[in-house]
Structure 1
């Protein structure tokens, strides 16, 4: 989707926020994240809450730069420990690598080259991350695009009767599988959503910064609406997820090297297209630690 230049919003005299024209997202232009002063960051944060996803191109960041920028949003989560017992970047536990590249037969990152289905990061935790920042170091010639979906827009589009039905429901967010479909380390797989591990959150939440209501679905596999018969839960979840698939609620980003995208993990979901596993894709990610349970 092309950036619409007719709706430019100014951060400073030289830096502009340009909405994507979709249901969410904006590109922030003429900005260097390594030299962002407090006034400009405050405006950037306001734009983040307004648009839910920010794209910042042509950055030249070390891992330390990425960590320093991300920490302005809050404390950071550590990347998970991998099957080899290590985190990805020695001495920098905040850096998570999303990559299909292998060195000497060992993966340098997670999630491979396959599709990553619609999801919210780590919603299976009691206190999920506030946001995620993803920085592109190497990208394939085609594929690997990331799409974002506005859960504000999805909720707003629900018919009144459906909003009434879901208003007081709670949903279990499964902790068995990651967004690439792989079983998480130390978890015994099960496909019964009533007994699988995970956190229980309200299905309809209020964003603590914007005050807007949003649908908080997390991910489809092994999700369960607490207290319903399994068949009833599956049917209602299928109905809700049918709204997520609608293109009018989404924006797709085609990556370039040097792109940084930061998204609100509470008001959005995201997915990734598959790509040729013979191509290289290396992305470094940070996550801003959650401070409260969804409510």
Structure 2
């Protein structure tokens, strides 16, 4: 007779490839190791997991994040995190208007994987909603493993062999206070176009349109060739069947695996006066490894480490 272990959480998939809501857990409480392990398992399976109505404060947010790894400072270019919480990045459209000089809702509202200009991009991010608009402001995620697996075999073989340069695009922030911070401390890394996930062994199509946006980013290709190849991969990761879209409510949490996803910030609020305030903590990442076993290469900057 086989015994069955009672699941500690209720995992409800949100789409065919990507995302699941987790119920039956209160993140304000101290979680036991078994519950943490089940959350991690759901994250590795679905790439992003959502928790409704958690209403964490800063301290609880940090404590939850630390159950899954070392937390880094808020962001390589963040200068004013909440007092007493250097790990927390405010995602607040009012702040962006001040230091970017534009009506931006978030750092980046194009498809991207967080901070891949680092040689060790974050392993994961945990974002919680505080103030959300009555409509609009959704976030979408895409599954980079599913996108890779669905490529035709010749394109998978090509992708396996390529490496790409990742950096911040100064043109987006040119002349702003944020742009000056980037220019004074450039971050550049060369990553495999396909990275092998360190926990699952899965291959993920590791291209980030916001960080590999210029035409000479694929190593060894001409500018024109690089542009065309990247466009093929960008179209692939944005295919709707690999994505999930999340409608925020105050108190909600999204926790994503940054090694296997890209996400799309909202671009539908620029003409509206709604406030939108979220807070993010980030898990320290490892150096990506390609199919050939070669690690990413540091070009400029330093690894971004936690404590």
- 1:144 aligned to which of 123, 137, 147: 137
Counting only pairs closer than 5 Å after superposition, residues 109-120 of structure 1 correspond to structure 2 as 112-113=104-105, 116-120=109-113
* Aligned residue number for residue 66 of structure 1: 61
Partner of 2:173: 182
Q: 1:232 aligns with which of 221, 225, 228?
A: 225
Which of 200, 203, 207 aligns to 2:197? It is 207
2:288 paired residue number = 293
Q: Give CA-to-partner distance per residue, 1:54-110, whole Å, 9 cap, x none.
A: 000010211000000001111111023768xx322112100100011359x957xx9
Q: Is the 8 A contact 1:127 1:294 kept in 2?
A: no
In the TM superposition, what whole-angstrom CA distance separates every residue of 1:161-197 from its partner, at most 9, and x where no partner exists? 111222211011122359xx435443349xxxxxx95
Give runs of aligned pairs for residues 1-295 of structure 1, distance below 5 A. 11-12=7-8, 15-35=9-29, 36-80=31-75, 86-101=79-94, 106=98, 112-113=104-105, 116-177=109-170, 181-182=172-173, 184-188=179-183, 198-219=188-209, 220-222=212-214, 224-274=217-267, 275=269, 276-295=271-290
Task: Give runs of ≥4 in structure 1 deviating > 4 Å.
Answer: none
Following TM superposition, by how much is the alpha carbon of 1:277 offset from its aligned partner in structure 2, in angstroms?
4.3
Q: Are the aligned partners of 1:98 and 1:111 in contact in 2 as well (CA < 8 Å)?
A: no
Q: Distance in 2 between matches of 1:97 and 1:233?
A: 35
Shift of 1:46: 1.0
CA distance in structure 1 between the partners assigned to 2:257 and 2:80 by the alignment: 24
Q: Could you tell me how far apart the structure 1 residues matched to 2:250 and 2:139 are? A: 14
Measure how far apart 1:41 and its partner are: 1.0
Q: CA deviation at 1:53?
A: 0.4
CA distance, structure 1, for counterparts of residue 231 and residue 253 of structure 2: 33
TM-score under structure 1 length normalisation: 0.85
CA positional deviation for 1:50? 1.1
What displacement does 1:293 show? 3.2
SS at match of 1:74: coil
Q: Is the 8 A contact 2:55 2:252 kept in 1?
A: no
Q: Unmatched 5+ residue regions in structure 1?
A: 1-9, 190-195
Any idea what the Cα deviations from partners look like across 1:9-66, whole Å, max 9, x if unmatched? x732xx3001112311110012101222221111111111111100000102110000
Structure 1 window deviating more from structure 2 (15-24 vs 132-141): it is 15-24
The 10-residue stretch of structure 1 (110-119 or 153-162) with the greater mean CA deviation from structure 2: 110-119
Q: What's the Cα RMSD here?
A: 2.6
Separation in structure 1 between the aligned mates of residue 60 and residue 82 of structure 2, nearest angstrom:
14
Is the 2:163–2:191 contact (alpha carbons within 8 Å) kept by the matching residues of 1?
Answer: yes
1:238-284, Cα deviation, whole Å (9 max, x unpaired): 11111122101101001111100000001000001221441010000
CA, structure 1 residues 162+40, in 2 after alignment: closer, same or farther (shift >3 Å)? same
Quick check: 1:100–1:280 contact (8 Å CA) kept in 2?
yes
Task: Give structure 2 stretches of 5+ with no counterpart.
Answer: 1-5, 291-307
2:303 — aligned with what? none
Q: Is the 8 A contact 1:25 1:55 kept in 2?
A: yes
C-alpha spacing 1:169/1:21, structure 2 compared with 1 (3 Å) = same
Distance 1:129 1:31 in 2: 25
Structure 1 residue 144 displacement after superposition:
1.1
Q: TM-score, normalization: structure 2?
A: 0.82
Does structure 2 retain, via aligned residues, the 8 Å contact 1:176–1:187? no
Pairwise CA distance, 1:153: 0.9
